[in-house]
Amino acid sequence: MRLRTKYILFVVIIHMVALVLAWFIFCQNRIFFIISEVFVIISIVIAWQLYVQLLRPLTMLMQGVEAIKDRDFNVKFLSTGKYEMDKLIGVYNQMMDELRAERTRQEQQHFFLEKLIFTSPTGIIILDFDDHVQQINPKALQLLGFKAEQLLKYPVDRLEHPLLQQIKYLKSGEAIVVKPDGVSTFKLQKSHFIDRGFSRHFVMIEDLTVEILAAEKNVYGKVIRLMAHEVNNTVGPVNSIMQSALKTTRLWEKDDVKAVKDALQVAIDRNQNLNLFMRNFADLVKLPAPNRRPLDLHKLVNSIKTLMQSKADEKHINIDIQLADSPFIVQADEQQMEQALINIVKNAIEAIGRDGMISMQTSLENKTLVISDTGPGIDAANAANLFSPFFSTKKDGQGIGLTLVREILVNHGFDFSLKTIIQKQTEFTIVFR
């Protein structure tokens, strides 16, 4: 029962009892009975005034509570001229002013945070209480290659992406650096915040590829320059001495020194090969900035097939091309792109060994060139190191072929990946942006 109802019921009962008692007590004396009735009427008036003065503030307070419940902080009450009532109204109005100011501050902070997340150069994924993706900023969508509707409301650890798969192994406060495709390097960091008394997680994805590649190139560049310097300073004079010795006829007049002469020639040839070996590494360091010009990719693909077909035929490997119907024009350095595609096809031939097929397919819709081969595929243990300098899965490999390809494509700003899709199908994909 509400307080107002209780009060009215109480007043009615009291005054009815008073009327009944007055009747039984003063029924014989009409004057005293009238006087008692007057007192009852005065009591009713006083009770009504008390009702107005005591319950009206409660009614106004309830209206204020409803306004707070509806988050309407603009409701304020005017002074009534009564001390107690005005004190209550003053406290209420002050509280509403503070709530309105606090809400304004929170909205401003929330707007700033939303703007900061949206424009952040770091990918940010915010999870709800059940670790479902609740919010994701544009940078994270770009890094993951998804659309927002493909991620929102889904459990983060069940989404098919190598970066997202790593998140489920992270604890709050931990960070990890991963190379999902052997080229791109990402730092994943997981943390949490308290929302409505519950812990919620968020994940930051930072693309370290450019910084890592620059630092890596700086390191191996110094090593290669040092090696080239030492080799050239040693091989040059040694070759000069041996060539001078070979040209001195009187040293070789006797038949029993022919073996020594042949050995010197072998040493000279080996030194030349060593020079060529070092030049290949030096070319990687001295790779110039691409001279971008309109390039017909289809013409270049046909040229690569013609150039590499004889090498493929030796191992009974067929090179098949499937080109889009319309011309495919890209802005690129023709010589560098030719060198990159030659290295890719050469690697595919070596991966197949004998009896297989290499396919080169273009797509105007996706702006891609896909070079696939029927080789044995990429070992998972080697996938992260494929594009690392000096790393090679071949017995006599130098480990610069794919590194050179990486440098060329990165300098052009083209996205690329190398992965085994299914057994006997490994694809090198280049996305032209």
20 within a domain of the structure (yes/no)? yes
Please tell me the distance from the alpha carbon of residue 76 to that of residue 66, in angstroms, as a whole number.
Answer: 12
pTM above 0.75, yes or no: no
Say whether 329 sits in a helix, a strand or coil.
Answer: strand
361-386 residues labelled b (16+ CB within 10 A) or e (exposed): bbeeeebbbbbbbbbebbeeeebbbb
Beta-carbon contacts of residue 332 (< 8 Å; ≥ 6 apart): 290, 292, 293, 295, 412, 414, 432
> Among residues 261, 221, 206, 267, which one has the least CA distance to residue 407?
221
The pair of structure tokens assigned to 209 is 């590829």
Please tell me the distance from the alpha carbon of residue 10 to that of residue 133, in angstroms, as a whole number.
Answer: 58
**CB 285: neighbour CB atoms within 10 A?**
15
The pair of structure tokens assigned to 168 is 């489920």
22-54 residues labelled b (16+ CB within 10 A) or e (exposed): beeebeeeeeebeebeeebeeeeeebeeeeeee
Domain termination site, one of 261, 285, 309: 285
Positive or negative torsion for Cα 238, 243, 246, 250: negative
Same domain as 270, residue 219: yes
Please tell me the distance from the alpha carbon of residue 357 to that of residue 338, in angstroms, as a whole number.
Answer: 20
114 within a domain of the structure (yes/no)? no
User: Which pLDDT does position 57 carry in this prediction?
Assistant: 66
User: Which pLDDT does position 48 carry in this prediction?
Assistant: 78
| Distance set, CA 153 to CA 117, 133, 305, 339 (Å) | 18, 5, 47, 45
User: Which pLDDT does position 332 carry in this prediction?
Assistant: 92
Please tell me the distance from the alpha carbon of residue 60 to that of residue 57, in angstroms, as a whole number.
Answer: 5
User: Which pLDDT does position 360 carry in this prediction?
Assistant: 92
User: Which pLDDT does position 408 carry in this prediction?
Assistant: 86
Domain termination site, one of 49, 82, 106: 106
Same domain as 218, residue 174: no
User: Which pLDDT does position 129 carry in this prediction?
Assistant: 82
Same domain as 261, residue 192: no
Domain harbouring 424, CATH code = 3.30.565.10
Same domain as 69, residue 36: yes
Write the DSSP string, 231-280.
HHHHHHHHHHHHHHHHH-GGGG-SGGGHHHHHHHHHHHHHHHHHHHHHHH
> Among residues 418, 284, 261, 383, which one has the least CA distance to residue 339?
284
Amino acid at 346: K
User: Which pLDDT does position 100 carry in this prediction?
Assistant: 82
Domain boundaries, position 124 = 120-207
Plot region of 390 (φ>0 → left; ψ -120 to 50 → alpha; else → beta):
left
113 within a domain of the structure (yes/no)? no
Same domain as 141, residue 14: no
**CB 235: neighbour CB atoms within 10 A?**
17
323 within a domain of the structure (yes/no)? yes
Residue ranges of the chain with per-residue pLDDT less than 70: 1-4, 26-28, 53-58, 80, 181-183, 195-197, 210, 212-230, 232-233, 249-257, 261, 273, 276-286, 380-400
112 within a domain of the structure (yes/no)? no
Work out how many domains the chain is built from and give that number.
Answer: 4
